[in-house]
Structure formats: C-alpha cells, structure tokens
Amino acid sequence: MSYNGLHVPLDIGTWNCILVPANEYRSPSGDWLCFVKGDELQQLEADRRAFDLYFRPNYDFRSLIRGEIEAIRSFVRDLLKVAHWNLPTDNARIERMLKQSVRDGRVVPIVDRERRSPTHTYRPTPAPLRWPPSGGSSPAVQVTPYVGRLSAAESGGLAAVGTATAVERTSASDARNGSTSLALQWVRPAL
C-alpha cells in the first residue's frame, strides 16, 4: 500500500480505485512500473480504462465538512505539484485533472473490483519517518525508580494514578561528554 495514494470511489457499484504515483507503483509480483509485462500489463490497461469510464466525482462543495475534497486537493498539491491557485474548485476540474494525470502516466489507477461496501475518498495516514526502537533493551534508555516525593503525590492527587519513575536518557553526544538528562515518567500500577 502506498501512503501517498488517494482512494476514490468509482461510479459503478462499490468499486474502489487507488491512485498511486507512477514512481511508487509496485506490481503484485513486486516489479516496478517500467518492468511490468504480460497479464499484469493487461490488468493495468483494464484499470486505466475503468478509471476513465467510471470516475465521476460528485462532491458537495457547499458542505461544511470537506474531508473528501481536502484529500483530493492535498493529493493534487503534494504529488502532482499543482500551485495553490490552480487547485480544483469544482467536480469537473477534479475529474479533468485526475484523468489527465492518469493519461500522462504520472498516476497509476488500481481498481478494486471485489470491494463489497461503499467507499469514500481519503488518503491513508502517513507512516512515521522513524519507528521507535523495539523492545526495552536499548542501551540509551535506563529506568531507575524515583525516590523523591512530588507535591502532587504528597497531597494524594496523583497517588491513585501511579508512581513516578525517573528515566535516564543518554544520547550519543551526551555520552561523549559524560552528561545525562533526567525525565519523569508516570507508571500505572498493575491491577
């Protein structure tokens, strides 16, 4: 799945189409777009024809909640590099811009013909740029119990929530200097 894709409904039953930038497309066999051949190439052509025939946007630009419209505008702005003054402002312009980008080969439509429920227009949530380290055995983080008392804990305000622990973090640059930093982290008691 491409995090830079755009999911749009097609005007035929419950078919869904995912528009993927051509430079990010990978076929089901794992090939890049320029290396696709045979049955996969025929499937791509069938998807292009289906998108051209059945993509007919029907968005209400007068509504207060414009999530679907903003998803299309952000896709066009970010991935098709359209200036903000040229962004689509009506259904005809949305249709013309997306169909033209498919014809130009900048975007690849992938049609899901087996979807059984109606769909809406959206962009997937972007993936994080860096994943946190897995597990608790990272040498840069050491957990030590906090022995002092906090004013909120003394008054009983946070005693029901949990106890505080000090987390000692040492970054690579701090390790060379021999310094560390302390941060408080609330830990809920096991029930």
pLDDT bracket for residue 26 (50, 70, 90): confident
Which residues sit opposite 19 in a β-bridge?
A: 6, 109
Q: Where do the domains of the chain lie?
A: 6-112, 141-187
* Among 116, 114, 112, residue whose Cα is nearest residue 8: 112
pLDDT bracket for residue 104 (50, 70, 90): very high
Q: Per-residue pLDDT for 168 more than 80? A: no
> What pLDDT score was predicted for residue 128?
62
Mean pLDDT calculated for residue range 161-178: 49
